[in-house]
Structure 1
Amino acid sequence: MGAWKTFSKSCCRCACTTRFTRRQWMTLFVFSLAYLFSACVTSLQAPFYPAEAERKGASATEYGLVFGIFQLVCFLISPVYGKYLNKFGAKKIFNMGIFTSGISCFFFGFLDRVEGHFLFIFLSFLIRIFEAIGSTAFVTAAFTIIAGEFPDSVATTFASLETLYGVGLIIGPSLGGALYEVGGFTAPFAFVGLCLISVALSTPWLLPNGKSMDGGDCKDTEGFGIFSILKLPAVQLAAVNIWMATNSLGFLSATLEPHLRQFNFSVLEVGLIFMLTGASYAISAPIWGKLMDKWIHPKYVIVHGALLIMASHVLIGPAPFLPFETYFPMSCIGLILHGIGIGACQVAAFILALKESIANGFPDNLNLYSVVSGMWASFLALGLFMGPSLGGVLLDQAGYRLGSLYPFIAAVVVVCK
């Protein structure tokens, strides 16, 4: 705790007296576009893909696994990116990831033309796997570059970019729903995919070169990796917290639209409802980041975030131990609390893992940033795999209200830990 206070005071002095350079502004500009459109890829299909999959004969379990396979691949390959990122160069990995995600998103939009239940699900899995390979490369490289380019304001910068991701989550379902109603299944994926491809093509010229961008000597990575930092109790807490938050987010991505069908909303209206979590996430993330840069230890932010996520699942269903049926205004309040809780947990986990690793003797360099980024992305992906996968099964077997106890109990575990 003493090491954290020392770091926080130093960070505050630097952050308050240092202006961003032209290089940093250019990096922020590129990352803002990448985060925005990548979040759209994640969220735009939520209002209409479950219904489209059901028209093809798929069950909630099957399309839940389509959501989840993306994250399983991310979980498996994130440690590989984290360990070897510095060898190949963060800029190259970043650009490759954005381009792969864009191409995959574009082709996903033609799945509605596939005839037959099996082929539709098979191609959905295949394209999502390639999309996951690209997304993991982008996310891991982005976190590494942030830590290297903004050493005096890591929490604030990371939280600000998470805000852009939140804006993408806001725009994604609404944009997806609007484009779906205007141009059908293909339109949302074609538009966002082409935007990502455009970002990838411009990155070699817009993103500056430098130590945090280019490959280098990876000798310092020998002797430690993700399992080394996971020996630290604080990093274990961060990892479990990342899993819990994204598990909750993934659960909602696969189950919220079927749960809301009782109200007979249009696809566009469902997209607007998804905005509640995205908007509260986008607004709260930079506030949490500023608080951690100046006043509050990330552990306390994690506890508050987990409590908010617990409260959200009590309200959205509502929880099966409440003696009344789904009440839409209360569900909306729950979605807002959910976004605020996710914002707290996401930002706090990365900062806690990075700073506690440094405080416990790991080298404060790009190699550590790469390993922490890989750990963060890996457990994020594990949560986003388990959430929709188990969510689809629970929706089929037990219904939404009883199934929502799963993310609720996961949040209880984090609070207790």
Structure 2
Amino acid sequence: MNDNNMDSDQVQQTDGMTLEESTSGPNQRITRYQILTLISMASVNFSSMICYSILGPFFPNEIVQIGAKVMLISGLFVSSGCTILFGLLDRVPEGATFITLCFIVRSVDAVGFSAAMTSSFAISAKVFPNNIATVLGSLEIFTGLGMILGPPIGGWLYQSFGYEVPFIALGCFLFLMVPFNMYILPSFAADPTKDSFFRLFTHLKIVLICFAIFTLSSGLGLLDATLSIYAIDKFDLSPGYVGLLLLGLSLPYCLASPLLGIVSDRFPSTRPWLMVLGGLSTATGFWFLGPVPILQIQSQLWLLVFMLVVIGFSLGMIAIPTFPEILNCAYENGFEEGLSTLGLVSGLFGAVWSIGMFCGPTLGGFTTQQLSFEWAASVQGGLAFLA
């Protein structure tokens, strides 16, 4: 009996050593355990992001048929309902039922979110045709505020009231936005167009700008998935300080976006230069974020924070000029001026952004696991340099 217990303990210790070695040994071959984990995580990211990106080709046409206002309000309504339902999923039995319902709710939520965001970009560009970059840059302030205030408010609601309340509160807030927007938002007429979503990809300039958008979102996805773990392991930071660390990325982006939008609108010829300089600065930021192992520079907290500030500002230099630049390129190549083309460009932007948000965490997480965060950031810097 004692021998059996001893054998069992030895087996457990051996399994524990195997698991630890398979995840911590950087020079060992990839194991079956790691392959299956990677496949699982990739499937989650893929299924989540394809729900957003797959809508790009046909949602612009829906804007023309049912109207941008109706699509925006419908998207808010669907997203609000799904957010409330997601907060109630803790009452569902564990196992396959829970996983299936989570996937269904988040997929439907993705449809609503994509509808709202696609029509939001199109409406903004329609109402402010001569100040697109300025308006989008100003709106990024509120995007950043949502990202900054979301974690502390959600954490406080969770600690005070439990799992359900944060989602129910957010869902109710989104639901209140439905009658609010129905009342204040005017209707927009649009004529059907023969232009195709895929016709945009026949122009090299648009393809290159899309690659810049891809590097932007993939970089944010990489940092979202790996930065907090790296900061905790490397500098022994608490989760609260990690949240403050992330402000170094989002705050410069929010503050710089309106200024960059004004410059982009007043001096349209500067847009390509802004994207080029933004790409070079972003590449430098990622290379020194680790820093690159071949430089043999010791990682320090002040350097990490400073590079996050550089990346945040540089991402604004890339992001803000892209939408008006794609739009101008479309008009120069015969696309009709109007809401239909605005919807096509908005859908394209959202689709490429979602693809980057899928590839960034997936490939970056794989590189981090097999090599290190420093190498993952270096690869991302290389992509930004190419853009």
Q: If the length of structure 1 is used for normalisation, what is the TM-score? A: 0.76
Letter in 1 for 2:216: A
Tell me the equivalent position of 2:335: 362
Larger mean CA deviation between 134-143 and 333-342 belongs to 333-342
Report SS of the residue matched to 1:284: helix
Tell me the equivalent position of 1:252: 223
Tell me the equivalent position of 1:385: 358
Kindly indicate whether the alpha-carbon contact (under 8 Å) linking 2:79 and 2:109 is maintained by their aligned counterparts in 1.
Answer: yes
- CA–CA distance in 2 between the matches of 1:270 and 1:187? 24
Is 2:263 the counterpart of 1:285? no
- CA–CA distance in 2 between the matches of 1:97 and 1:287? 30
Is 2:167 the counterpart of 1:160? no
Equivalent residues in 2 for 1:30-179 (5 A)?
62=40, 66=44, 69-110=47-88, 122-179=100-157
Kindly indicate whether the alpha-carbon contact (under 8 Å) linking 2:118 and 2:347 is maintained by their aligned counterparts in 1.
Answer: yes
Tell me the equivalent position of 2:211: 240
Kindly indicate whether the alpha-carbon contact (under 8 Å) linking 1:69 and 1:128 is maintained by their aligned counterparts in 2.
Answer: no
Letter in 1 for 2:299: T
Kindly indicate whether the alpha-carbon contact (under 8 Å) linking 2:57 and 2:198 is maintained by their aligned counterparts in 1.
Answer: no
Letter in 2 for 1:169: M
Report SS of the residue matched to 1:77: coil
- Please state how far the C-alpha of 1:411 moved relative to its aligned partner: 0.6
- CA–CA distance in 2 between the matches of 1:395 and 1:106? 35
Kindly indicate whether the alpha-carbon contact (under 8 Å) linking 1:234 and 1:352 is maintained by their aligned counterparts in 2.
Answer: no
| Paired positions, count | 350
- CA–CA distance in 2 between the matches of 1:178 and 1:264? 23
Tell me the equivalent position of 1:261: 232
Letter in 1 for 2:375: L
CA-to-aligned-CA distance 1:322-352 (integer Å, 9 cap, x gap): 3245322211112212211221222111111
Letter in 1 for 2:146: G
- CA–CA distance in 2 between the matches of 1:64 and 1:190? 29
Q: Which runs of 5+ in 2 are unaligned?
A: 1-35
The 1:111/1:345 distance shift into structure 2, 3 A limit, reads: farther
Kindly indicate whether the alpha-carbon contact (under 8 Å) linking 2:280 and 2:384 is maintained by their aligned counterparts in 1.
Answer: yes
Kindly indicate whether the alpha-carbon contact (under 8 Å) linking 1:66 and 1:128 is maintained by their aligned counterparts in 2.
Answer: no
- Please state how far the C-alpha of 1:302 moved relative to its aligned partner: 0.9
Is 2:377 the counterpart of 1:399? no
Tell me the equivalent position of 2:314: 341
- Please state how far the C-alpha of 1:356 moved relative to its aligned partner: 1.5
Kindly indicate whether the alpha-carbon contact (under 8 Å) linking 1:176 and 1:188 is maintained by their aligned counterparts in 2.
Answer: yes
- Please state how far the C-alpha of 1:375 moved relative to its aligned partner: 1.0
- CA–CA distance in 2 between the matches of 1:167 and 1:290? 20
- CA–CA distance in 1 between the matches of 2:375 and 2:174? 38
Letter in 2 for 1:366: L
The 1:62/1:182 distance shift into structure 2, 3 A limit, reads: farther
Kindly indicate whether the alpha-carbon contact (under 8 Å) linking 1:246 and 1:387 is maintained by their aligned counterparts in 2.
Answer: yes
Tell me the equivalent position of 2:277: 304
Kindly indicate whether the alpha-carbon contact (under 8 Å) linking 2:67 and 2:188 is maintained by their aligned counterparts in 1.
Answer: no
Kindly indicate whether the alpha-carbon contact (under 8 Å) linking 1:97 and 1:135 is maintained by their aligned counterparts in 2.
Answer: yes
CA-to-aligned-CA distance 1:244-297 (integer Å, 9 cap, x gap): 101111111111222122244443333222222211111111111111111243
- Please state how far the C-alpha of 1:91 moved relative to its aligned partner: 0.7
Larger radius of gyration: 2
2:266 to 294, 299, 311: 294
Letter in 2 for 1:274: L
Letter in 2 for 1:136: S
Letter in 2 for 1:74: Y
The 1:108/1:388 distance shift into structure 2, 3 A limit, reads: farther
Kindly indicate whether the alpha-carbon contact (under 8 Å) linking 1:101 and 1:131 is maintained by their aligned counterparts in 2.
Answer: yes
Percentage identity across aligned positions?
Answer: 28
Kindly indicate whether the alpha-carbon contact (under 8 Å) linking 1:68 and 1:388 is maintained by their aligned counterparts in 2.
Answer: no
- CA–CA distance in 1 between the matches of 2:340 and 2:237? 49
Report SS of the residue matched to 2:242: helix
Letter in 2 for 1:245: L
- CA–CA distance in 1 between the matches of 2:207 and 2:100? 35
Letter in 2 for 1:362: F
- CA–CA distance in 1 between the matches of 2:42 and 2:300? 25
- CA–CA distance in 1 between the matches of 2:55 and 2:293? 37
Kindly indicate whether the alpha-carbon contact (under 8 Å) linking 1:179 and 1:188 is maintained by their aligned counterparts in 2.
Answer: yes
Kindly indicate whether the alpha-carbon contact (under 8 Å) linking 1:60 and 1:396 is maintained by their aligned counterparts in 2.
Answer: no
Alpha-carbon RMSD across the aligned residues, in angstroms, is 2.6
- Please state how far the C-alpha of 1:353 moved relative to its aligned partner: 0.2
Kindly indicate whether the alpha-carbon contact (under 8 Å) linking 1:66 and 1:124 is maintained by their aligned counterparts in 2.
Answer: no
Kindly indicate whether the alpha-carbon contact (under 8 Å) linking 2:51 and 2:107 is maintained by their aligned counterparts in 1.
Answer: yes
- CA–CA distance in 2 between the matches of 1:61 and 1:322? 33
Is 2:208 the counterpart of 1:230? no
- CA–CA distance in 2 between the matches of 1:112 and 1:269? 29
Q: If the length of structure 2 is used for normalisation, what is the TM-score? A: 0.82
- Please state how far the C-alpha of 1:155 moved relative to its aligned partner: 1.6
- Please state how far the C-alpha of 1:309 moved relative to its aligned partner: 1.7
- CA–CA distance in 2 between the matches of 1:205 and 1:195? 16
The 1:364/1:175 distance shift into structure 2, 3 A limit, reads: same
